[in-house]
Amino acid sequence: MSGLHLLLHTTEQPEQWVAALQKELPQARIHRASDAPQCDYALVWQPPAGLFGGQPALKAVFSLGAGVDSLLTSDELPEAVPVVRVEDSGMASQMAEYALYAVLDAFREFRCYARQQRSHQWSARPPRERADFAVGVLGLGVLGSYTAQAIGALGFPVYGWSRTPRRVTGVTCLHGSSGLAEVLASARVLVVLLPLTVQTRGLLDARRLARLPHGAVLVNLARGALVAEADLLRALNEGRLAHAFLDVFSTEPLPPGHPFWDHPGITVTPHVAAQTTVAPAARQIAEKIAKLERGEPVTGVVDRRRGY
Ligand code: NAP
Ligand code: GLV
């Protein structure tokens, strides 16, 4: 694989990416500027406008993350160039950790005890049965299916939802609009792990949030625009939802003065639910480049019409 030219664009740990890629592909030349020579592959996260304009010979574009929503909106990306995304590479276990934290917090009512402690109140809540505490997981892909199984392994009934029919051990798998209605009606905690596409944008609006059981908890780990944020705020303010754990937002970073920052019913984290770990992701990308160079198929190729 000598003589390969790679165009790298990321603002997140760029030096570590260069080092890791150079280790995996010692003969490749890595370029970081938009005035790079003609490259074979682009490896990008949130590419700026103009990045692909001068690159007519790309054989594939690699997303350095799992989600490709911001990449697919680039109108300079030539139609015929395959887009390949990072699959898991350490992200699935991070997602499961976050979701488990939220599920256990909701199930064991730890935020209620924290409130009680602030008012020096000693008062036990009645115990609950896991069997009565169903969890919904929207999205049963690489990250959603792992997360759903991790929750199910603790004994919670798990209802998962996908676009097409899926089978995931220990998870009641549903699809389609009737499947979504069933998941929403059951979920004491709803974990969102869908890609942001034309079909899923604004999916969790007032009407769908209202279908959740009273006092449910929302956990959005995917993309902010999947949830109608004003509708969520209203559901929290009216006490219909007990809490929301939000890792992602319509505008990131979450703007100063945004009502989510100080809302007692919202836990904000700065888009860290599952971060790409550079070394394993660089290894995965290098292996895929090697396969493409040999003319072999690779996994993780995005269906650009579908949007994920
Ligand atoms: P994936 O493997 O592509 O899985 C996507 C899942 O969503 C699939 O089960 C798919 O259904 C389902 N889906 C897509 N469109 C749907 C629709 N219209 N209706 C119902 N289900 C639909 O994606 P992934 O790797 O698990 O990642 C999921 C998302 O997590 C990413 O797109 C990204 O936005 C987000 N993410 C966030 C972070 C973070 O730190 N917060 C980190 C990584 C990823 P099928 O199974 O039928 O195809
Ligand atoms: C992060 O949000 C990713 O999509 O990998």
**Which residue has 């594939």 as its token pair?**
60
Q: Give the mean pLDDT of 28-56.
A: 91
CB 163 within 8 A of CB 175: yes
Q: Which of 9, 163, 188, 223 is catalytic?
A: 223
pLDDT higher than 80, residue 109: yes
Pocket of ligand 1, beta carbon within 6 A = 65-67, 91, 139-144, 161-164, 166, 193-197, 199-200, 221-223, 247-248, 271, 273-274, 308
What's the CA-to-centroid distance between 50 and ligand 1, angstroms? 27
Cα–Cα distance, 162 to 179 (Å, whole number): 9
Beta strands 189-192; 60-63: pairing state: unpaired
Report the pLDDT value the prediction gives residue 31, as an integer from 0 to 100. 96
Cα–Cα distance, 208 to 204 (Å, whole number): 6
Q: Which of 276, 277, 284 to mutate to test the pocket of ligand 2 (most atoms within 8 A of CB)?
A: 276
What's the CA-to-centroid distance between 5 and ligand 1, angstroms? 30
pLDDT tier for residue 34 given thresholds of 50, 70 and 90: low
pLDDT higher than 90, residue 131: yes
For 101, residues 6+ apart whose C-beta sits below 8 A from its C-beta are: none
Tens-digit pLDDT profile for residues 78-101 = 889 999 999 999 999 999 999 999
Structure tokens at 304: 């650009």
Q: Give the mean pLDDT of 171-196.
A: 98
Atom of ligand 2 nearest to the CA of 65: 5
Q: Residue ranges of the domains in the chain? A: 5-88+276-293, 91-268
Burial category of 25 from C-beta neighbours within 10 Å (exposed 0-12, middle 13-18, buried 19 and up): buried
Report the pLDDT value the prediction gives residue 195, as an integer from 0 to 100. 98
Give the residue whose CA is nearest to atom 1 of ligand 2: 65
Domain 5-88+276-293: give its CATH code: 3.40.50.720
pLDDT higher than 80, residue 207: yes
Report the pLDDT value the prediction gives residue 35, as an integer from 0 to 100. 74
Compute CA distances 148 → 18, 138, 291, whole Å: 34, 9, 31
Please give the single-letter amino acid code of residue 16: Q
Per the document, the length of the chain is 308
Please give the single-letter amino acid code of residue 93: S
Structure tokens at 63: 């997303």
Atom of ligand 2 nearest to the CA of 222: 2
Examine domains 5-88+276-293 and 91-268 and report if their fold is the same: yes
The pLDDT > 70 percentage for the chain reads 99
pLDDT tier for residue 1 given thresholds of 50, 70 and 90: low
Q: Give the mean pLDDT of 98-124.
A: 98
Helices in 119-158 by DSSP H: which ranges?
A: 142-152
Give the ligand at the shortest distance from the Cα of 192. Answer: 1
> By mean pLDDT, which of 32-36, 57-61, 119-123 is the weakest?
32-36
Report the pLDDT value the prediction gives residue 53, as an integer from 0 to 100. 87
pLDDT tier for residue 76 given thresholds of 50, 70 and 90: confident
Residue of 297, 300, 299, 284 lying closest to 89 (CA atoms): 284
Judge: domain 91-268, CATH 3.40.720.10: no
Report the pLDDT value the prediction gives residue 75, as an integer from 0 to 100. 83
Cα–Cα distance, 26 to 291 (Å, whole number): 16
Beta strands 241-246; 172-175: pairing state: unpaired
Q: Which of 201, 211, 258, 271 is catalytic?
A: 271
Residue of 260, 212, 268 lying closest to 237 (CA atoms): 260
pLDDT higher than 70, residue 151: yes
Q: Which residues of 201-228 are buried (b: 16+ CB within 10 A; e: fewer)?
A: eebbeeebbebbbeebbbbbbbbbbbbb
CB 241 within 8 A of CB 217: yes
What's the CA-to-centroid distance between 66 and ligand 2, angstroms? 5
